Structure 1
Amino acid sequence: MNAPVTEAELHAWVDGQLPPARRAAVDAYLSQHPAEAARLQAYRAHNAGLRALFNPVLDEPVPRALQRRPLQLPHWPLRMAAMLALTLAGGGAGWWLHGAAQTGERVQQAALALPARAALAHAVYTPEVRHPVEVGADQQAHLVAWLSKRLGAQLKPPLLTAQGYTLEGGRLLPGQSGPVAQFMYRDGGGVRLTLYVSTEQKQHRDTAFRFAQEGEVSVFYWLDGQFGYALSGNLDKAALATLANAVYAQLEPSGE
Structure 2
Amino acid sequence: MSSDNVAPGEDELQAYVDERLDGPQRAAVEAQLARSPELRDRIQAERRHRASLRSQLQDKADEPIPARLRIANIQTARRTRLTRRAGLAAAALAIFVVGVGAGWLANEQRPSIAMSAPTTSIAQGATAAYRTFVVEVAHPVEVGVAQEAHLLQWLSKRLGRKLEAPDLTPFGYRLIGGRLLPGGSGAAAQLMYEDSTGRRLTLYVRAADGTETAFRFQKDGDAATFAWIDQGFGFAVTAMASREELLPIAEAIYKGLTPKG
Determine if the TM-score, normalized by the shorter chain, exceeds 0.5. Answer: yes
- SS, match of residue 178 in structure 2: strand
- SS, match of residue 119 in structure 1: helix
Say how many residue pairs are matched: 163
Q: CA deviation at 1:88?
A: 8.6
2:240 alignment partner in structure 1: 234
In 1, the alpha carbon distance for the partners of 2:141 and 2:219 equals 24
1:92 equivalent to 2:112? Answer no
In 1, the alpha carbon distance for the partners of 2:206 and 2:118 equals 9
Cα deviation per residue 1:52-93 (whole Å; 9 max; x = unaligned)? xxxxxxxxxxxxxxxxxxxxxxxxxxxxx9xx9xx9986325
Equivalences for 1:42-121 in 2 at 5 Å?
91-92=107-108, 94=110, 96-97=112-113, 110-121=118-129
In 2, the alpha carbon distance for the partners of 1:230 and 1:173 equals 14
2:163 alignment partner in structure 1: 155
1:133 alignment partner in structure 2: 141
- What is the identity percentage for the equivalent residue pairs of Structure 1 and Structure 2? 42
Equivalences for 1:153-232 in 2 at 5 Å?
153-199=161-207, 201-202=208-209, 204-232=210-238
1:44 alignment partner in structure 2: none
Q: CA deviation at 1:162?
A: 1.3
8 Å Cα contact 1:119/1:217 also seen in 2 = yes
8 Å Cα contact 1:231/1:244 also seen in 2 = yes
Q: CA deviation at 1:94?
A: 3.8
Partner letter of residue 245 of structure 2? A
8 Å Cα contact 1:158/1:251 also seen in 2 = yes
Q: Scaled by the length of structure 1, what TM-score is found?
A: 0.57
8 Å Cα contact 2:178/2:191 also seen in 1 = yes
Q: CA deviation at 1:188?
A: 0.8
Segments of 4+ moved more than 2 angstroms: 87-97, 108-112
Q: Scaled by the length of structure 2, what TM-score is found?
A: 0.56
